[in-house]
Amino acid sequence: MPPDSIVDAESPFGPLVSTDWLADHLHHRDVRILDCRWYLRPFDDREGDAEHRKGHIPGSVHVRWDTDLADPDRPASMVAGAARYAEKMGALGVGDDTFVVLYDDHHVPVAARVWWTLRLFGHSRAGVLDGGITSWVASGGALETGVNTPPPAVFTPRFQVERYATKDDVLRALADDDHHLVDARMDKAFDAASGTIPGAARLPALGFLADGEHWVTPAAARGAIDAAGLGDDKPVITFCGGGVAATGTALAYELAGLGPVAVYDGSWTEWEADPATPKALHQR
């Protein structure tokens, strides 16, 4: 593709982009690549910033979902308000016409978290790199070290309320029994927690990674959702421990052609901290 052409408005692969697509568009002026790597302790002691410095996809910049894109005045690293979010995206070189490619290494689906925040603020020109940096290297993609400083851009936030759920929204859903509540925590995090939200079904985000790296096909995603009894017309609220895995399951719904769904941003961290919220012992 010539460097002065315009990339498609949305990913040609739904919420995903392939390593081949990225290789073809790596140096396109309208493409910005965000390295989203981050690790959940105590399950992994690595640091995303350090991993980025060791080697990253050329042209990428590192972003932290839990600090850069979070509101420091809210619990559980909940997403930043519109002004703060727009300022950070602009500083990362993400403007209204930018196509954003997001990647991680699938320790947890952090790229899906940042993808969700972009969609939450109305930016549809974004896709998660299928297979992440691991598949990029396996396909022959080069890595670089050093720090990239993209030119600043103007990002216009347009909040999409249907993608977001608050604690009050979850309480109303419980009272009315008019939503599917979906617990997306990976098994280790789920087992380590004290409980879950009453009536929640389990649909772990990492279960949608076919080989631990690549996302399943749209048909397989739809099949897994339907098999769990969660593929009807009932609205869906996903949650997890702190708002990351929930976005992976939200991405899977979109991959299956069933999205968008709402993500409970405060998730179990906020829910558990409130003595007034109902809790249930989880069952495997």
Q: Which residues are catalytic?
A: 240
Q: What are phi and psi of 91, to 5 degrees?
A: -65, -25
User: What residues form DSSP beta bridges with 13?
Assistant: 16
Residue 107's identity, in one-letter code, is: H
- 74: exposed, middle or buried (C-beta count within 10 Å: 0-12, 13-18, 19+)? middle
- First-last CA distance in the chain: 49
Q: What is the DSSP letter of 215?
A: B
Enumerate helices (H) and strands (E) in the chain, giving the number of each: 10, 10
Residue of 56, 86, 58, 81 lying closest to 70 (CA atoms) = 81
| Strand pairing class (16-17; 164-165) | unpaired
Copy the structure tokens of residue 118: 């972009």
Query: Hunting for tokens 């396996």 — which residue is that?
Result: 138
Q: Cα(175)–Cα(155) distance, rounded to whole angstroms?
A: 38
Q: Cα(14)–Cα(23) distance, rounded to whole angstroms?
A: 18
Give the SS3 label for residue 235. coil
